[in-house]
Amino acid sequence: MAIFLTGATGYVGAHVAALLLENHRDQLNLLVRAKNQQEGAERLWKSLQLHLDFPRFYEYLQTRVNIFCGDLTDARFGLSDDDYRRLSETTDSVIHCAASLNRKSEKVCLNVNLRGTLEVIKLAQAARDLHGLRRFSDVSTVAICGHRFNEVVTEDAARDWSRSDYDPYARTKKFCEHMVEELLPDVQHTVFRPSIILGDSRYAETTQFDMVRSFVFLAGLPVLPFRPTDKIDIVNVDFVAESIVTIHQKEKPNHDIYHLSSGVGSQTFRELTDALSQVQSKSGPLYLPALEKPFTTINNWLADNLRGNAIGFGATLLKVFIPYLVWNTVFDNTRITNETGKKPAPFSAYSYPLLKFSKVGNFTYPYRSWPADVRQAAASAALAGA
């Protein structure tokens, strides 16, 4: 039997897959958007090489990974009857990480988040009806809480249908949570809500750059249009992935919903900029909160009118994230820290290496190609496992 993991080629999903492969014994059923097994394997290698060398990856590919080539938004993932039956028969739990974070396109979010989640739920129902389903874990987001200001939000108070949403991503993910509850009432299910995920506390390398671009831009400004004492809830991806895996593999978790966040321990803008300034031996920025509205107006104009260049691209990213930078809202993480005994790393402790790696590499990761001589790689994998 296996864990069915969606989103293994994404940032969080790849961290989850690597942890499961390295620290657990489960088989993994991975849905990968690819035309054939080889293309699927190559896409998977691209996502996991941040975590594994090729010999180790290839060993897992041969012994514990089952690739299903399909699309989240197609009926039954576009799989053949035989493959869908095999997926249903061998899946004993689900971790649903796949999602569209496209906060601008309602169409994309509807297709990937709503239709895709519905297909995952239908697969879970099929597995449940065949042999039972141990657990359904849904990776959501704290953004489902809607418009907030100056709050500490607990898990049970976060989903409030009377509040407006900031964007299609938050709106669709909120409804995804609802679908899981309504359509899998007899299956143990867990909802994980990460806050702003930025980097890995263990090393500088990353493959996700959108939020990093925004922070690099903001870190370079001499004046910031924010309140310096506002907190911003940033969490490291290694804490998020380890929390998901730990709770999913636990027989009886204490709760159904967990905020994977920095909570009341979130740092202020001033704390973050002071840390960056100190490590670079520079003076910190000047804070002028009165500029928030004009800054937002100018930034949105640049995003709408300077498309196709670096300034317009940066402005577009900021247009998406500004609402989450000025709401001074954090998400109580007492449940997860008490249950796992682990706490997220302060962003100031690893932000500079992350920003430096991203700037030096021009916001790209130096991916390694699939080896030309796979037989030699296989031999290396055998030696590595000996």
Tens of pLDDT, residues 20-38: 999 999 999 999 999 999 9
With tokens 């601008």, the residue in question is: 104
What pLDDT is attached to residue 160? 96
Topology given in CATH for the domain delimited by 2-366+373-385: Rossmann fold (3.40.50)
Closest alpha carbon to 197 in 74, 324, 288: 324
Contact 68, 87 (CB under 8 A): yes
* Residue 223, number of CB atoms within 10 A of its CB: 11
Mean pLDDT in the chain?
94
Report d(CA 106, CA 199) in Å as an integer. 27
Q: What is the pTM of this model?
A: 0.95
| Coil vs helix vs strand at 250 | coil
CA-to-CA dists, residue 240 to 109, 123, 146, 176, 320, angstroms: 22, 25, 21, 19, 22
- Which CA distances in Å does 221 have to 154, 218, 273, 320, 357? 33, 5, 11, 18, 19
Encode pLDDT of 219-236 as tens digits: 888 999 999 999 999 999
pLDDT of residue 383: 61
Rounded Cα–Cα distance for residues 20 and 288 (Å): 46
Q: Is the pLDDT of residue 182 over 90?
A: yes
Give CA–CA dist 6/9, Å, rounded.
Answer: 8
Q: Is the pLDDT of residue 380 over 70?
A: no
How sure is the predictor about 9, in pLDDT bands with cuts at 50, 70 and 90?
very high
Q: Residue 87: its pLDDT value, please?
A: 98
pLDDT band at 382 (very low <50, low <70, confident <90, very high): low
Burial bucket for residue 352 (CB in 10 Å: 0-12, 13-18, 19+) = middle
- State pLDDT tens for residues 27-66: 999 999 999 999 999 999 999 999 999 999 999 999 999 9
Task: Please report the beta strands in the chain, taking only residues with DSSP state E, as ranges in sequence order.
Answer: 2-6, 27-32, 65-69, 91-96, 135-139, 151-153, 189-194, 196-197, 223-224, 231-232, 234-235, 257-260, 267-268, 286-287, 329-331
For residue range 293-313, what is the model confidence (pLDDT) as tens digits? Answer: 999 999 889 888 877 777 777
Strands 196-197 and 234-235: parallel
* Amino acid 217: pLDDT: 83
pLDDT of residue 381: 55
User: Mean of the pLDDT values across residues 67-78?
Assistant: 97
Greater model confidence, 160 or 380: 160
Three-class DSSP category at 265: helix
Domain positions in the chain? 2-366+373-385
Q: What is the CA radius of gyration of the chain?
A: 21
Nearest CA-CA partner of 140 in 166, 122, 121, 113: 113
Alpha carbon distance 133, 308 (integer Å): 47
Tell me what the mean pLDDT of segment 180-205 comes to: 97
Bridge partners (DSSP) of residue 202 are none
Contact of 200 with 206, CB cutoff 8 Å:
yes
Q: Which of 355, 374, 369 is nearest to 49 (CA)?
A: 369
Quick one: pLDDT at residue 292? 93
CA–CA separation, 16 vs 11, rounded Å? 9
Cα–Cα distance measured from residue 145 to residue 16, given in angstroms and rounded to the nearest whole number = 24
pLDDT in tens, 319-348: 888 889 999 999 999 999 999 999 999 999
| Residue 385 Cα distances to 220, 284, 375, angstroms | 47, 50, 15
pLDDT tens, position by position, 77-106? 999 999 999 999 999 999 999 998 776 678
Buried b (16+ CB within 10 A) or exposed e, 285-312: bebeeeebeebbeebeebbeeeeeeeee
Are 73 and 119 within 8 A, CB to CB?
A: yes
Cα–Cα dist 358/384, whole Å: 31
Banded model confidence at residue 130, pLDDT cuts 50, 70, 90: very high
Mean pLDDT of 110-132: 97
Whether 118 shows a pLDDT value over 60: the answer reads yes
Strands 231-232 and 267-268: antiparallel
3-class SS at 230?
Answer: coil
